[in-house]
Amino acid sequence: MKSYENLKAKSVSIEKVRDYWKGKNIPQIWYSDIEPGTVPYYNNVRKQRFEFYYPYLKDSAEFQYHKDEKVLEVGVGMGTDIIEYARYGAKVYGIDLGADQIEITKDMFQKLNLSYEDLKVASAEKLPYENNYFDFVYSFGVIHHTPDINSAVNEIHRVLKPGGRAVIMIYARGWKHYIKRCFIHGILKMKIFKYNFDWQKVYNEVSEVNGGSPLTQVLTRRQVKKLFKNFYIESIEKKRLGEFFEYKPYNTVKAPNFILNLFSLFGLEGLFGENFLIKVQKSNSKTKGKIIDVLWKHY
Ligand SMILES: C[S@@+](CC[C@H](N)C(=O)[O-])C[C@H]1O[C@@H](n2cnc3c(N)ncnc32)[C@H](O)[C@@H]1O
C-alpha cells in the first residue's frame, strides 16, 4: 500500500504552526472562567473536557489501563489528558511545540500534586526519545496540524516498543466537515472562490475555535489506513457528532441530549463523527487478529 502524502501540507513551516498555537489559541484554556492557574480552574477545565466537550475520552483514551507503563503524549496542550494517565499510575512523558503549553502542563501537575518523568518542548516530527522506549503513545488533535504528518507517525512507531500501542485522534471527514466547512463556509459563504478552489485553505481558515489555522488536515478512512500502514490497525472509529451549534469561547451551545441520544440510538456517530479515534499496535504481524486466522486456527 502506498503511503499517505499531502504536498501542500509539507510546504507549511513548522514555525508558523508553533506560532499559531500561542496565547488565545492554547487549547482548552477558555473552558473555564475561574482564575487561571488555580486548583479550581484546573479541575473545572478537566470537568469541562471529560463531561461536556469530549466525554468519549473517559473510555476511549484508556487512561486507567497503563499503570507503571511508560506513556508518551505527543502534543500535550495544557495537559488535561496526560495528567489522567499519571493519576492512574503511569510514568508519563509529554512534548509540545509550544513552551507555554509545557509550562501550563507542569503547573497543573504541581498544583494537583501529581508527578511526571519528563515534559519538554519538542516536535512530533522529531521525538527526543530513543527507539523502542514507550509502552503506549497518545496524541489527540495534534498530528493533523504538523506539516510532515508521515514523519510524526513514523516517529511514534520508532519510539514504541515492539508490541506497544498508540491511541491517536485526527480529524475525520464527518458531517460537520461536509456541512460546516465545505457547504456553509466553502460554498454558501463562497470562501472557495476567495481561495481559488484550494479546499485545504478553506479547512485551515474554519477548522479551529478562533479560525485561521496555518494547517489542518482532515482525512478519509482510506488515507488513515495509508498513513498507519506500518502498524497493525486495531480499530479506526468515528467519534463526536460535532454536536455544538456555536463553538467559540464561552458561547457554546450543545444540541439537546434527546437529539444526541437519538443519534447514538441509530449509530450515526460511527458514520458522521468528526474525529477518527485510531488504535494501533507496533507489530510484525500485519495479519494478527484477522477473523480468517482465528477461524483457521480454532475451527
Ligand atoms: C488542538 S491542540 C491539541 C492539544 C491537546 N492534545 C488537546 O487535546 O487539548 C494542538 C496542539 O498541538 C501542538 N502541536 C502542533 N504541531 C505539533 C508538533 N509538530 N509537535 C508537537 N506539538 C505540536 C500545538 O502546539 C498545540 O498545543
Q: Which residue has the higher pLDDT, 251 or 215?
A: 215
Strand 244-246 versus strand 232-239 pairing type: unpaired
- Ligand 1 mutation target, pool 145, 213, 218, most atoms within 8 A of CB: 145
Grid coordinates of 178: 461536509
Interval between CA 142 and ligand 1 midpoint (Å): 4
Cα(86)–Cα(109) distance, integer angstroms: 9
Domain CATH for 145: 3.40.50.150
Whole-prediction pTM: 0.94
Q: Is 146 in the pocket of ligand 1 (CB under 6 A)?
A: yes
- How confident is residue 267, by pLDDT bands cut at 50, 70 and 90? confident
Dmax of the chain from CA atoms?
62
Domain count, the chain: 1
Range in 71-80, 139-148, 287-296 with the lowest mean pLDDT: 287-296
- Ligand 1 mutation target, pool 16, 97, 215, 216, most atoms within 8 A of CB: 97
Q: Which atom of ligand 1 is nearest to the CA of 95?
A: 21
Q: Is the pLDDT of residue 101 over 70?
A: yes
Interval between CA 290 and ligand 1 midpoint (Å): 33
Cα(158)–Cα(130) distance, integer angstroms: 8
Asked if residue 245 is part of any domain, the answer here is yes
- Ligand 1 mutation target, pool 14, 21, 46, 83, most atoms within 8 A of CB: 21
Asked if residue 194 is part of any domain, the answer here is no
Q: Which atom of ligand 1 is nearest to the CA of 152?
A: 19
Residue 296: per-residue pLDDT? 65
Asked if residue 82 is part of any domain, the answer here is yes
Asked if residue 20 is part of any domain, the answer here is yes
Residue 294: per-residue pLDDT? 61
Cα(170)–Cα(215) distance, integer angstroms: 13
Interval between CA 298 and ligand 1 midpoint (Å): 44
Per the structure, the complete domain to which residue 267 belongs is given by 7-172+210-298
Residue 262: per-residue pLDDT? 87
Q: Is the pLDDT of residue 272 over 80?
A: yes
Q: Is the pLDDT of residue 62 over 90?
A: yes
Task: Give, using CA atoms, the residue closest to atom 4 of ligand 1.
Answer: 77
Collapsed DSSP state (helix, strand, coil) of residue 298: helix
* Cβ 191 vs Cβ 205: under 8 Å: yes
Mean pLDDT over 24-39 rounds to 95
Residue 249: per-residue pLDDT? 64
Residue 293: per-residue pLDDT? 67
Closest to 28 (Cα-Cα) out of 114, 101, 113: 101
Q: Is the pLDDT of residue 138 over 90?
A: yes
Average pLDDT, the chain: 92
Asked if residue 121 is part of any domain, the answer here is yes
Residue 41: per-residue pLDDT? 98
Q: Is 147 in the pocket of ligand 1 (CB under 6 A)?
A: no
Asked if residue 183 is part of any domain, the answer here is no
Q: Is the pLDDT of residue 91 over 90?
A: yes
Name 94's bridge partners: 73, 119
Mean pLDDT over 246-252 rounds to 66
DSSP letter at 185 equals I
- How confident is residue 253, by pLDDT bands cut at 50, 70 and 90? confident
Q: Is 63 in the pocket of ligand 1 (CB under 6 A)?
A: no
Mean pLDDT over 111-139 rounds to 98
Q: pLDDT per residue over 156-198, tens digit each?
A: 999 999 999 999 999 999 888 898 899 989 999 999 999 999 9
Q: Is 125 in the pocket of ligand 1 (CB under 6 A)?
A: yes
CB-neighbour burial class of residue 288 (10 A; exposed 0-12, middle 13-18, buried 19+)? exposed
Task: Give, using CA atoms, the residue closest to atom 5 of ligand 1.
Answer: 77
Asked if residue 185 is part of any domain, the answer here is no
Interval between CA 252 and ligand 1 midpoint (Å): 22
Cα(207)–Cα(199) distance, integer angstroms: 12
Asked if residue 195 is part of any domain, the answer here is no
Q: Which residue has the higher pLDDT, 292 or 10?
A: 10
Share of the chain above pLDDT 90, in %: 75
Interval between CA 149 and ligand 1 midpoint (Å): 13
